[in-house]
Structure 1
Amino acid sequence: MEQTDRRALIAAGVTVVLWASAFVAIRHAVLSYSPGALALGRMLAGSLTLLVILLARREGLPPRAAWPGIAVSGVLWFGIYMIALNWGEQEVDAGTAAMVVNIGPIIIALLSGLFLAEGFPRRLLIGMAVSFTGAVVVGFSMSEGGGASVLGVALCVVAAVTWAIATIVQKPALRHASALQVTTFGCLIGAVVCLPFAGQLISQAAEAPLSATLNLVYLGVFPTALAFTTWAYALARTTAGKMGATTYVVPAIVIVMAWALLGETPTWLALAGGALCLAGVAVSRRRAA
């Protein structure tokens, strides 16, 4: 059991690092690709990567019992979430987007307590409160000021809600199918949802610089194909509430990556917020004595 817990923790760690790197890649890609085109390109790159791995491992179609969860999570998370987040980040500054989207783990904890019988562990709730405070502090430190776009905030709320619901329906599907199967077919369904943007993707890919297209492919292969599979692997081995809380590590990692890769020196406020995020995750995942 301890070895399984360690593997799940490592898988969760891979997920949060790659999801953090996605914020850096998206910053470059959205300069050349519209929200829908970026989502479709990311899903196509991710689907192709996952299909190759699925065939290499000789895993077939998921059992029938897994399909409802795969279908719903595919539409909501791999489809609507991706479009809403890309669009929302064009309408509001990064700080506002980070603060709004980070209500997602809180919704996950509430829904998992109500529908997955996970309850409401005191340590989890305290840890999430600390981490959310840290995310808000990070958001304020990144905010550009001025009035926030109502449309942008609404899109970020849509992203948070679809992520939360998708997590809750994905968890039962993982009892019947492997993490690779759930992720592969969810990604394929997401690509189908994004197909209306195929024309935009083709025209924009013809004009986009190579660096932007490479960022799009990176988003599909690593933060999507690999990170969503490690997420599903870890989710199958822990509670949805704890997995949601773990994602509060992302803002802290984004600060470090932006510092190292983009030369964006963090403020003391950002560092303090990142420390709160990490402290909250540590509390939420700590076992009761």
Structure 2
Amino acid sequence: MAVDATNPAVAITPRTGAWATPLEICLLGAIWGASFLFMRVAAPEFGPAALVELRLALGAIVLAPFLWSHRGAFPLRLWPKLALIGAINSAVPFLLFAWGAERAPAGVGAICNAMTVLFTALVGATFFGERIGMGRALTLATGFAGVVVLASGRIQGAEIGLAVAAGSTAALLYGIGIHLVRRHLTGLPPTAVAPATLACGAILLLPFGMAQWPAHGPSMHAWLSVALLGVVCTGLAYVMYYRLIARIGPARTSTVTYLVPLFGVAWAWWLLGEAPTARMAIAGALILGSVAMSQRMR
């Protein structure tokens, strides 16, 4: 998952007990980690395009009240930008992760998702003139080494290189999308930006989702996974995310990045029997270690 955590236009929430914050961060990590499990279950039956179309539409519907309450802040001239960001920051990354979920264990996509932080720094340095320094450059190299380790292995007898490439490309698009949001949507309420971009992504992807709609009815397990993916992992999770930003700020909220791959691997192991391999552990350690060091250097 990737949204802009630096936008200051977030409504202030009431004070909450100190115990609630770490609990909500863990819960959010568990929800976003479970999204890779749900994609793994639903993608083979729905196909990537139909699955992501439903995910985007359900997420937009859940968050629609926030967009409606701030509708005056979204003039018509803004919607082309929202459509572009919706494609880069939602529709295409979701599609890539769903495509990878058909070909690799759920934990692989969850590990690749952690690269978003590193790609955000790389995109900022490459295209927006942000300085990263030698230390952060080394952390980036370490994280990318983790991707190479992950992509070069076989899991359950299958090559996963293409799935890792898809997940890494999705993380790159998240990194680009975050910079676009910062530069073009700053000042808008994030809880309204989220449904606007999700809705645009759903509209853009609709022809592909209809063209690739499954010929045979998916199972109840697949439908339940789609519903949870759209309503909980995409809709409600965004609400939790912005509540945390309002309460504790973007820096502390970003610690959820470290929990998503851990929960993603754990859910897949527990519910799908996809045991993590030594190569996944090494790659995850390299990527998460580089993310942690990069965050400390900011």
TM-score, L = length of structure 2: 0.71
- 2:96 aligns to what? 84
Q: 1:90 to 1:202 in 2, by over 3 A?
A: closer
- 1:224 aligns to what? 234
Residues in 1 aligned to 2:281 and 2:34: alpha-carbon distance in whole angstroms: 18
CA apart distance, 1:196? 0.5
Q: 1:275 to 1:154 in 2, by over 3 A?
A: closer
CA apart distance, 1:259? 2.5
CA apart distance, 1:212? 0.6
Provide structure 2 residue ranges, at least 5 long, that are not aligned to the other structure.
Answer: 1-11
The answer to whether the aligner puts 1:256 opposite 2:256 as a matched pair is no
Q: Do the aligned partners of 1:66 and 1:172 also contact (CA within 8 Å) in 2?
A: no
The answer to whether the aligner puts 1:199 opposite 2:210 as a matched pair is yes
CA apart distance, 1:74? 0.6
Pick which of 22-31 and 77-86 moved more: 77-86
The answer to whether the aligner puts 1:175 opposite 2:208 as a matched pair is no
- 2:50 aligns to what? 37
Q: 1:111 to 1:287 in 2, by over 3 A?
A: closer
Q: 1:181 to 1:66 in 2, by over 3 A?
A: farther
Pick which of 183-192 and 252-261 moved more: 252-261
Residues in 1 aligned to 2:210 and 2:124: alpha-carbon distance in whole angstroms: 39
Residues in 1 aligned to 2:58 and 2:125: alpha-carbon distance in whole angstroms: 35
CA apart distance, 1:69? 4.6
- 2:170 aligns to what? 159
CA apart distance, 1:258? 2.0
Residues in 2 aligned to 1:287 and 1:157: alpha-carbon distance in whole angstroms: 23
Partner residue of 1:18 out of 31, 47, 52: 31
Q: 1:173 to 1:106 in 2, by over 3 A?
A: same
Q: 1:135 to 1:20 in 2, by over 3 A?
A: farther
Residues in 2 aligned to 1:102 and 1:285: alpha-carbon distance in whole angstroms: 12
CA apart distance, 1:198? 4.7
CA apart distance, 1:208? 1.2
- 2:70 aligns to what? 59
Q: 1:98 to 1:59 in 2, by over 3 A?
A: closer
Residues in 1 aligned to 2:158 and 2:149: alpha-carbon distance in whole angstroms: 17
- 2:85 aligns to what? 73
Code of the residue aligned with 1:163 in structure 2: it is Y
Equivalent position SS for 2:93? helix
CA apart distance, 1:37? 0.5
Pick which of 74-83 and 19-28 moved more: 74-83
Q: Do the aligned partners of 2:147 and 2:164 also contact (CA within 8 Å) in 1?
A: no
Code of the residue aligned with 1:39 in structure 2: it is V
Partner residue of 1:46 out of 35, 40, 59: 59
CA apart distance, 1:209? 1.4
Residues in 2 aligned to 1:82 and 1:89: alpha-carbon distance in whole angstroms: 10
- 1:213 aligns to what? 223
- 2:124 aligns to what? 112
Q: Deviations over 1:191-232 (max 9, x none)?
A: 10111135357655x711111111101111122223345567
Equivalent position SS for 1:119? coil
Code of the residue aligned with 2:217 in structure 1: it is E
Equivalent position SS for 2:73? coil
Query: Aligned pairs, how many?
Result: 279
CA apart distance, 1:185? 0.1
Pick which of 217-226 and 28-37 moved more: 217-226
- 1:186 aligns to what? 197
Provide structure 1 residue ranges, at least 5 long, that are not aligned to the other structure.
Answer: none
Q: Do the aligned partners of 1:98 and 1:139 also contact (CA within 8 Å) in 2?
A: no
Code of the residue aligned with 1:283 in structure 2: it is M
CA apart distance, 1:274? 3.6
Equivalent position SS for 1:264? coil
Q: Do the aligned partners of 1:252 and 1:278 also contact (CA within 8 Å) in 2?
A: no
TM-score, L = length of structure 1: 0.73
Residues in 2 aligned to 1:60 and 1:70: alpha-carbon distance in whole angstroms: 13
Q: 1:280 to 1:147 in 2, by over 3 A?
A: closer
